[in-house]
A and B are shown apart, each in its own frame.
Chain A
Amino acid sequence: MAKQLLKGNEAIAEAAIRAGVQAYFGYPITPQTELLEYMARRMPELGRVFLQAESELAAINMVYGAACTGRRVMTSSSSPGVSLMQEGLSYIAASEVPCVIVDVMRGGPGLGNIAPAQGDYTQIVKGGGHGDYRMIVLAPATVQEAVDLTRLAFDLADKYRMIAVVLLDGSLGQMMEPAELPPFADGAALGTPPAWALTGAQGRPKNVVTSIHLVPEDEEQFNQQLQARYAEIARTEVRCHEYATADADLIVVGFGTAGRVAQTAVKQARAQGLKAGLLRPITLFPFPEQRLAELARQARGFLVVEMNAGQMVDDVRLAVSGQGRGGLTPAVRFYGRMGGIVPLPDEVLGALKALAETAGHTPQPSPVSCLPLDGGPVAR
């Protein structure tokens, strides 16, 4: 199929439709509203369910209910709306029903603004709801990747009976780029609900979908099952994009829009003789920590670029800690913009040059002090 000029939000909607999504529940919020509008138009044409809920809270619980039937279901929202969904996400994760969530991030915290940001990293990747759960998190950097990762999100959600999140910023949602849409998923494959699904128990024992395990031993065993699945995913589903890393001694790490902007900076740095490379995580959970540890053996410094105050940088620090030559830790620096501002390549290049001048010297840890309970003099 030929390339089409597609807006990120609409491309995700059409990709979800082609992946076989049977029901969409949502509530409008900028900068993702085109996704919902597209669904409102297309889903009824195809005889599928579109429902504008009365709130994000209602939407996520509709997703929960519909997901219990084993059909492909989804919602989409933007940062404040996704915050409202956190309780539902924890319940869905604990009920082991698959669904897809799209978060088109905007400036925060609070009501913030509608400009592009990446401030939801920690909430989405570490779990913003209660309890020990994980979601598969996919971070596209182009409209084509938004299409491809939407399909992958449905496939992985079904495979692992988990929530899969497509996490992007408002600029990618609003942007048009050439992209190729995949063919419609095979209808036959989507036709039969899985064995665990709630489909009416006629002629078979009943299925139960629940998130409650009142006996602590049962709850612990259930948690161990979840953790085993997350560990398996961490081994098998890591995806990342690399540029010019083969001989790089300076590695820039960024996801989504920050990552694609950083790639331009890396090209500019190369043209100026710096041995720079880029690692752009595509899966944020699972995180490419093993690859980062490998790169730590050749790199003297890492620069993490994000559209937030520094969230993924913590995961990069963990991944490279003690992984450098001789068990040392390479320098890890951060460059970020907040409030809905997208960093431009020259800013990233400036930060990369600063890193190049100083990287390789392990900084002394700063003294840590904490006040005693009575607020008196600091005890050492």
Chain B
Amino acid sequence: MQTDLIISGFGGQGALFAGQILAYAAMDEGLHVTWIPSYGPEMRGGTAHCTVVISDDEIGSPLVRNPAAAIVLNQPSLDKYEPLMAAGGVLVVNSSLIPRRPQRTDLRVVEVPANALAEELGNVRLANVVAVGALVAAAGVLSVEAVERALAAHLPERHKHLLPANSQALRRGAALAAAALA
């Protein structure tokens, strides 16, 4: 069983870190995982994305053509990845920043006002974690608890005080996705 996913947004929205949370959780669950960032001559305000592949078997390609799941944190990311998604894939859309709905009808779309929810929790920088919660609940690739444990185990010491807020963000996103897909 292999799940490949892409997380994409403006630089600074935490797309790369969101992918790393999933990679840590997968590793701690004893799964195979690869995480690879977009890298290049990037500019401030440009988009950044990462590809994460999680599998119970050795992973060949760390890159994918048609991801089974994606988080798009901004409009350019939706424009780029909506057409590339595998049919039946899970697409988490940050509706706080993306005014349009996805056009494809063969995707499982979860619209999450990630920025608004994060602001409610007191820190807009948690928007990426809200989206991760939604993805995990919708795609069923890892449990919310596994991701929580990974955050506790791998957040740098200086950020440990943010752990309760991260857990809340994760659970808000997961609850919203579960309700949306129910």
Interface residues of A (CB under 8 A from B): 3, 5, 30-31, 114-115, 170-171, 174-178, 257, 260-265, 267, 342, 344-346
Q: Ordered nearest first, which 8 A-B pairs have the shortest CB separation? A: A264-B60, A176-B35, A178-B27, A175-B36, A261-B61, A261-B60, A260-B60, A175-B62
Q: Cα distance A175–B33 when bound, in Å?
A: 10
Closest to B38 in A: A174
- A5-B23, A114-B39 as given contacts; A175 in contact with B34, CB under 8 Å: yes
29 contacts between A and B (CB under 8 A): A5-B24, A5-B27, A30-B40, A31-B39, A114-B39, A114-B40, A114-B41, A171-B36, A174-B36, A174-B37, A175-B34, A176-B20, A176-B36, A177-B34, A178-B27, A178-B33, A257-B62, A260-B58, A260-B60, A261-B61, A264-B59, A264-B61, A342-B61, A344-B61, A344-B63, A344-B64, A345-B60, A345-B61, A346-B65
Closest to A243 in B: B58
Q: Does B23 contact A176, Cβ atoms closer than 8 Å?
A: yes
Interface residues of B in 84-129 (CB under 8 A from A): none
- A5-B23, A264-B61, A344-B63 as given contacts; A175 in contact with B40, CB under 8 Å: no
Q: Which residues of B contact A170 (CB under 8 A)?
A: 39
Q: Does A263 contact B60, Cβ atoms closer than 8 Å?
A: yes
Q: Does B62 contact A171, Cβ atoms closer than 8 Å?
A: yes
Q: Does A5 contact B60, Cβ atoms closer than 8 Å?
A: no
Closest to B40 in A: A114
- A3-B27, A5-B20 as given contacts; A175 in contact with B35, CB under 8 Å: yes
Closest to A115 in B: B40
Interface residues of B (CB under 8 A from A): 20, 23-24, 27, 32-37, 39-41, 58-65, 154
Q: Cα distance A263–B57 when bound, in Å?
A: 12
Q: Does B60 contact A176, Cβ atoms closer than 8 Å?
A: no
Q: Does B61 contact A177, Cβ atoms closer than 8 Å?
A: no
Q: Which residues of A contact B154 (CB under 8 A)?
A: 5
Q: Does B61 contact A260, Cβ atoms closer than 8 Å?
A: yes
Q: Which residues of A contact B65 (CB under 8 A)?
A: 344, 346
Q: Cα distance A265–B60 when bound, in Å?
A: 8
A-B contacts besides A114-B39, A171-B36, A177-B33, 4 pairs, CB < 8 Å: A31-B39, A176-B35, A264-B60, A344-B63
Q: Which residues of B contact A5 (CB under 8 A)?
A: 20, 23-24, 27, 33, 35, 154
Q: Cα distance A378–B34 when bound, in Å?
A: 55
Q: Cα distance A182–B106 when bound, in Å?
A: 47
Q: Cα distance A263–B58 when bound, in Å?
A: 9
Q: Cα distance A362–B123 when bound, in Å?
A: 67
Q: Does A171 contact B63, Cβ atoms closer than 8 Å?
A: yes
Closest to A265 in B: B60
Q: Cα distance A257–B34 when bound, in Å?
A: 12
Q: Cα distance A170–B35 when bound, in Å?
A: 13
Q: Which residues of A contact B60 (CB under 8 A)?
A: 260-265, 267, 345
Distance of A69 from chain B, by nearest CB (Å)? 36
Closest to A33 in B: B39
Distance of A312 from chain B, by nearest CB (Å)? 18
Q: Does A342 contact B35, Cβ atoms closer than 8 Å?
A: no
Q: Which residues of A contact B36 (CB under 8 A)?
A: 171, 174-176
Q: Which residues of B contact A264 (CB under 8 A)?
A: 59-61
Q: Cα distance A31–B35 when bound, in Å?
A: 16
Closest to B31 in A: A178
Closest to B35 in A: A176
Distance of B109 from chain A, by nearest CB (Å)? 25
Q: Which residues of B contact A262 (CB under 8 A)?
A: 60
Q: Cα distance A231–B81 when bound, in Å?
A: 52
Q: Cα distance A171–B60 when bound, in Å?
A: 12
